[in-house]
Amino acid sequence: MEKIFTIENISELANLMDEIAALAKSRKDYCYKSFLIVGDDAAEYANVYGFSKPNHTCAYSNGKLKGGSEDAVIQNAYYSEYYYDARNGSSGFSSLHKTTLVRYKGEFLEPNFCYGTTATLHIVFDTRIYHEKISAQWKQEHPEPNRVGTLTDRKIEEWYNYLTSRREEYDRVVNEETATITKFLAQVREVAAYCKDARIGDTQGQLRANNLVFSYSISKGYINKEIKVDYRGSNTLETFTKMIKGEF
């Protein structure tokens, strides 16, 4: 996943806008980028771009962390998004969303108070952590830490280790899937040398030989395979005999 773009100086925003516009124009399409405003420039950003106040305060952050940690910094932040549509030349910013984040070891962790006065934590915009690729067995073997009401060095470290280990597990699964797919496609290309008709793609393909058709499709790391007979002649024993001898 692409690391979230973080703006700590309002002057950085102009460069971001230019990059997105250039990318959209090169693709002749719609492009956007989400970003995070942290620090003192958050208020200035709101004023400069017409957000006199946030359009929305994230429900996740309706509570407030108590206590403190020597290495974890609690600070206000805003989510936003800039888009450029090369199809019609339109551009702009989405609504501004205010939240409170915990900055720790280079990551931004957001508290989730949806269920009361204590919070779970998640790493901002890192969808890998709660992806379906994280197995039920892994979750059972690595239970979520206790919810946080008072922030301490021990608690923030527990959550940081838990979240980063989930991310590492996701990356491990994806790497295994990628290796399996690479090996499979190499085998398909070897078999294709013996086929009269072969169409091989990175996401789907088909091999034909002796009235047999092998098809595959690849999606979300999974390989779906199918073998079928493709013959429209007479259904006789002679036809069957020729087919098993590879004479068609």
pLDDT at 182: 96
Please indicate, yes or no, whether the overall pTM of this predicted structure exceeds 0.85.
Answer: no
Q: Give yes or no for a contact between 5 and 35, defined as CB atoms under 8 angstroms apart.
A: yes
233: region left, alpha or beta (phi > 0 left; psi from -120 to 50 alpha)? beta
Which regions of the chain are under pLDDT 50? 1-4, 52-62
Beta strands (DSSP E) in the chain are 5-7, 30-38, 56-57, 66-67, 73-85, 90-93, 97-104, 107-112, 120-123, 150-151, 197-200, 204-209, 212-219, 222-229
pLDDT at 40: 60
- Parallel/antiparallel/unpaired status of strands 197-200 and 204-209: antiparallel
What pLDDT, in 10s, does the model give residues 145-204?
A: 988 888 888 899 999 999 999 999 999 999 999 999 999 999 999 999 988 889 999 999
For the chain, the structural domain boundaries read 5-127, 197-248
* Residue 122 φ/ψ, nearest 5 degrees: -145, 155
DSSP assignment letter at 119: B
> How many distinct helices (H) and strands (E) make up the chain?
5, 14
CA distance 43 to 49: 10
